[in-house]
Amino acid sequence: MQKRKLGNSNLEVSALGLGCMGMSYGYGPAADKQEMISLIRTAVERGITFFDTAEAYGPFKNEELVGEALAPFRAQVVIATKFGFKFGPKGEQSGTDSRSEHIKEVAEASLKRLKTDRIDLFYQHRVDPDVPIEDVAGAVKDLIQEGKVRHFGLSEAGVQTIRRAHAVHPVTALQSEYSLWWRKPEEEVLPTLEELGIGFVPFSPLGKGFLTGKIDENTTFDKSDFRNIVPRFTPEARKANQALVDLLRQIADRKNATPAQIALAWLLAQKSWIVPIPGTTKRNRLEENIGAVSVELSSDDLREIDSAAARIEVQGARYPEELERRTGL
């Protein structure tokens, strides 16, 4: 497995990470715990060293799963988790909370669940409009000085927040959605990250599964699947957005690859400091995603993809309005 460094930091990770959220949360009922432990350990054996979780996934269950799965390999892997939400009595999210004392409480709880003495990359999950980002960066800086956290990250933050945080303590990585069907980061975020030497970790690099080519307008999702409330996943939008999958399939057929592999290879080709974190609960998908690292797209291939994609207007918002309001602050 190829390695990449996240920006100017010394944090080296596999070129592809593994997003673990969907094993416990978001995409229907939680998967079997022992099967997911086995899947995570297979990922380690196949060279993946970068694993993404958060207290909010479950909540709490995903960190416990990742901690148990990676305990035997702790010295050779990088674990990223996130803080910044508060939860109601039934575990439901009840708003943001990035007060300094809360960040430190979350860090202690995450360390226990992850069965470790350090968090390699600690992201603010969403910008908290009630807490200055300087205070957030300061709290994480304290944790870094105490040795409990190694690197500071942000998720779905806008450029002003990134700059203000980075001035207090270097931001190692920004995690945000980025794929061939969500390219907004290219406008302001990617140039800012390049200028400041910050790595980029795209989540949903396969468009929440859509870019695999396995979802069409007739696909139904479990009632607990987050995609049921996503405008981009209405049957009408899925039908309209097949044009993007058709483009990926055309390139894939030429390259003896799959649409998912082309979508991931495209992301990897954008910048050397981009590390996508596709999630899966299936071993064959894990193998397919890992195969994307060895798919080479020439500059002609990339130009062809870009020009064809520019003619396709993706239908539907990527989030319901109330969730979109939490991003890009």
Domain architecture of the chain: domains with CATH: 3-206+273-295 (3.20.20.100)
- The residues pairing with 4 across neighbouring beta strands, listed in sequence order, are 13
pLDDT in tens, 84-139: 999 999 899 999 999 999 999 999 999 999 999 999 999 999 999 999 999 999 99
Provide the token pair at 210.
């859509």
Provide the token pair at 322.
């109330």
Q: Write phi, then psi, for 241 (nearest 5 degrees).
A: -80, -5
Q: Which pLDDT band holds residue 328 (cuts at 50, 70, 90)?
A: confident
Question: Are β-strands 78-83 and 119-124 bridged in parallel, bridged antiparallel, or unpaired?
Answer: parallel
Sequence-distant (6+) residues with CB within 8 A of 124 are 82, 83, 84, 98, 133, 136, 140, 153, 154, 155, 157
3-state helix, strand, coil in the chain (%, to 5): 45, 15, 35
Question: In a 3-state reduction of DSSP, which class is residue 55?
Answer: coil
State how far the Cα of 266 lies from the Cα of 128, in Å rounded to an integer.
32
Distances in whole angstroms, Cα of residue 279 to Cα of each of 86, 161, 200, 238, 302: 24, 27, 16, 20, 24
Cβ atoms within 10 A of the Cβ of 224, count? Answer: 12
Based on the number of CB atoms within 10 Å of its own CB, is 187 exposed (0-12), middle (13-18) or buried (19 or more)? exposed
How confident is the model at residue 201, as a pLDDT?
Answer: 98
Question: In a 3-state reduction of DSSP, which class is residue 216?
Answer: coil
> pTM higher than 0.85 for the full model?
yes
State how far the Cα of 80 lies from the Cα of 82, in Å rounded to an integer.
7
Query: Are the C-beta atoms of 157 and 136 separated by less than 8 Å?
Result: no
pLDDT in tens, 14-65: 999 999 999 999 999 999 999 999 999 999 999 999 999 999 999 999 999 9
Distances in whole angstroms, Cα of residue 52 to Cα of each of 40, 77, 202, 279: 11, 11, 11, 9
Query: Are the C-beta atoms of 200 and 193 separated by less than 8 Å?
Result: yes
Average of per-residue pLDDT values in the chain: 97
Mean pLDDT to the nearest integer, 139-166: 98
How confident is the model at residue 134, as a pLDDT?
Answer: 98
Q: What is the DSSP letter of 188?
A: T
Print burial letters for 34-46: b (CB count within 10 Å at least 16), e (below 16): eebbebbebbbeb
Q: Is 57 a catalytic residue?
A: yes
Residue 326 has pLDDT above 90, yes or no: no
Given CA atoms 87, 90, 91, 93 in this order, what sign does their dihedral have?
A: negative
Residue 245 has pLDDT above 90, yes or no: yes
Which amino acid is residue 282, in one-letter code? K
Q: Which of 25, 57, 178, 319 is catalytic?
A: 57
pLDDT in tens, 14-28: 999 999 999 999 999
State how far the Cα of 157 lies from the Cα of 171, in Å rounded to an integer.
12
Nearest to 252 by CA among 201, 205, 211: 211
Q: Which pLDDT band holds residue 329 (cuts at 50, 70, 90)?
A: confident
Mean pLDDT to the nearest integer, 303-329: 93
How confident is the model at residue 63, as a pLDDT?
Answer: 98
